[in-house]
Amino acid sequence: MERVAIVLAAGRGERLGSSEPKAFVEVAGHPVLEHSARALAAAPSVDAVLPVLPAGMLDGAESLRAAWDLDTVLLDPINGGKTRQQSVYNAVRWLLEYQPAVCWVWVHDAARCFVSAEDAERVLAAAAKTGAALPVIPIHETVKRVVSGHVSQTEDRRELFLAQTPQVFRLEILREALDKAARDHVQGTDCASLVERLGVEVNVVDGRRENWKLTEAGDLDRAERQFAESRQ
């Protein structure tokens, strides 16, 4: 086993307004986490999927395996941490200890349940050169930097992009980035930002607007509609 997709599902998803963790909310009859895991498992380069779940939700490991019947190996889920970064760190440390042959990882937000196997392959190919890559989409709106209620600057939007997942890294590079972030007390909102701090070149590929992240109340209806349209 050399290439593992880490699927992050340990967030509480409070903004979504659901009583259960966001990744367990059902869309089109299946948990968001299952949609993401299934898409990544279908990528030929993915050897295994590693779910990262909230504390107290590991009991379902066997039932997950039975219910999903994935195209690839489903590793026993592990516990996430308080922050997204801590959840990634838990997964990376677990892989280094228990799956020492792993050299590449995808880090994916389960909440981006419209990810495709093709996304996973495209980002891996882009990461091959430098050891790190992510999908991005251009920004069409004008972006203002606002400080204390006043515009301090208008950014050049031609240079601005939105970061998506799955992001792909050489496991060793991601470990180094997480170690350094911990030493420096830095919390990043994605993994690529931590790898950038190492001075490693991070490649980009075209993301897809359809691969958006379920975040707020109202997103569930939008996701249901998108699944319905994709089936027509």
| Close Cβ partners of 103 (under 8 Å, ≥ 6 residues apart) | 2, 3, 170, 171, 172
3-state secondary structure of 196: helix
Is 79 among the residues that bind ligand C5P (CB under 6 A)?
A: no
β-strand 26-27 against 73-74: which pairing, if any? unpaired
CB of 83 to ligand C5P, least distance (A): 5
Is 37 among the residues that bind ligand C5P (CB under 6 A)?
A: no
Burial class (CB in 10 A: 0-12, 13-18, 19+), 183: exposed
Indicate the residue whose CB is closest to ligand C5P: 11
Among 109, 123, 127, 171, binds ligand C5P (CB under 6 A): 109
Q: Measure the CA–CA gap between 220 and 3, rounded to whole angstroms.
A: 31
Which listed range, 107-115, 126-134, 154-162, 194-202, lies at the site for ligand C5P (CB under 6 A)?
Answer: 107-115
Among 111, 120, 174, 195, binds ligand C5P (CB under 6 A): 111
Residue at 11: amino acid letter: G
Is 192 among the residues that bind ligand C5P (CB under 6 A)?
A: no
Interacting residues with ligand C5P (CB under 6 A): 8-11, 22-23, 52, 80-84, 87, 109-111, 213, 215
